[in-house]
Amino acid sequence: MAISFSLAGKTALVTGANTGIGQAIAVGLAQAGADVALAGRSHPAETLDLIAQAGCKAVNITADLASTAPVTRVVDEAVAALGRIDILVNNAGIIRRDDLLQFSEADWDAVIDTNLKTLFFLSQAAARGMVAQGSGKIINIASLLTFQGGIRVPSYAAAKSGVGGVTKAMANELAPHGVQVNAIAPGYIATNNTAALQADETRNRQILERIPAGRWGDPSDIAGAAVFLASPASNYVTGHVLAVDGGWLAR
């Protein structure tokens, strides 16, 4: 049987695709042939244009995923625009930093709600349609902090650890219905969010010394993993958290 990485005829819903990793994933899915709906607070004009350039349909759905309130509407609008949802990528997320002894309940709740609670309930809403059609792919964006504790980011570490756990829980229940659920744990990726770290000579050197590959990751590195997990080539892969980190965790 021929191995296929093609997404021709497939549809995807990607959250938080305005820039960076989310944008790269959305464009990568389109380049593999998928029509893509984008959900987030900001209008992703550049991403929409890049998807159109790839020859695929691009749809914007404005939604603040800081709560579960828009979840049903987002799924309904994506289905109305694209016909169905074959692929869901839960990329939207936030981070709050503070010392452990001063970390506020508001910062805790904001991160857990966006990064874990909304992720689960959006997956649940999309999975109903996937189960009905007998196929689907859910890809959650985890983190190196799915495996490590980090410093000054307790709610983010808790949320991303939870993403790893809920990925496996969803995979167990959805596998009999032809739906695969996996996660990607990006390493240090060169995006706007990490610009300050890259510009800090000392921290940049320390990071590169720890990465066996000797370089920062590019958002396209994550897009490649997402295309694999969204494609028929990964039909027997489920419940897995794939680290795309240049070897960071192996060090």
Q: Catalytic amino acids?
A: 156
Secondary structure class of 93 (helix, strand, coil): coil
> What are the tokens at 107?
């910062």
8 Å CB contact between 138 and 181: yes
Sheet containing 241-244: order of strands: 58-62, 35-40, 11-15, 87-90, 136-141, 179-186, 241-244
8 Å CB contact between 56 and 34: yes
Question: Which ranges constitute the DSSP H helices of 113-240?
Answer: 118-133, 154-174, 195-199, 201-210, 219-230
> What are the tokens at 142?
């985890």
Question: Which residues are paired to 35 by β-bridges?
Answer: 11
Secondary structure class of 194 (helix, strand, coil): helix
Q: Rounded to whole angstroms, how far apart are CA atoms 137 and 121?
A: 15
